[in-house]
Amino acid sequence: MATETDHSLGEAVAARIERRWATLSIVIVGVLVGMAAYIGIHQATMPQGRVETADPKTLHLSGEFLESNLGSELAADGSVTVRAIGQQYSFTPQCIVVPAETPITFRATSADVVHGFLIEGTNINTMLVPGYITDLPVRFKAPGDHVMPCQEFCGIGHQGMWGRVKVVDKSTFRDMAAAKRRLTCVD
């Protein structure tokens, strides 16, 4: 039979455990707040990493994202730069062609609102933000076809915003690049 002492002992144990858990949760909240404050202050006081901007209103008039400059470009060192634009509700180019086993840099931006840039079957998943240039180094292991849906809700036609990426072998790409300055696989 439980005595008066057993009862008060149990209460004391429960109170101790409760205090311990309460302290732990306060410490966790404190650590998280501290991390957020540190990152915020750090970002505000340190020079930013490379941030490149592009005015969405003049993309089609001048600069790197002129329509004639979009698509894949083979550089003298064998690397490839792909320039693309996302807009409601398509990508330009709609079909991107790149070589396998080659260092590739995607440079893209948005002409209107935030769009998603995701290549199915790879870990490529970023965003196209109006006003900013997304610069992403990638490499494809093997030839193949991938779909490239916009994964960020961007308006009423969002579900129809799909692009394609065609990865071809290196020599095929080199032959294509010999014939044309900017490559796409848009039919």
Question: CB-wise, 8 or 159, nearer to Cu ion?
Answer: 159
Q: Which stretch binds Cu ion (CB under 5 A): 64-72, 95-103, 135-143, 151-159?
A: 151-159
> What is the 3-class SS of the chain, one letter each residue?
CCCHHHHHHHHHHHHHHHHHHHHHHHHHHHHHHHHHHHHHHHHHHCCCCCCCECCHHHCCCCCCCCHHHCEEEECCCCCEEEEEEEECCEEECCEEEEECCCCEEEEEEECCCCEEEECCCCCCEEEECCCECEEEEECCCCCEEEEEECCCCCCCCHHHCEEEEEEECHHHHHHHHHHCCCECCCC
Q: Which stretch binds Cu ion (CB under 5 A): 4-12, 43-51, 112-120, 172-180?
A: 112-120
Question: CB-wise, 102 or 115, nearer to Cu ion?
Answer: 115
* Nearest-approach distance from CB 15 to Cu ion, in angstroms: 56
Residue 154 binds to Cu ion (criterion: CB under 5 A): yes
Residue 118 binds to Cu ion (criterion: CB under 5 A): no
* Nearest-approach distance from CB 86 to Cu ion, in angstroms: 6
Question: CB-wise, 117 or 173, nearer to Cu ion?
Answer: 117
Give the footprint of Cu ion on residues 67-96 (CB under 5 A): none
For Cu ion, the binding residue among 80, 148, 161, 185 (CB under 5 A) is 161
Residue 150 binds to Cu ion (criterion: CB under 5 A): yes
Residues near Cu ion (CB under 5 A): 115, 150, 154, 161
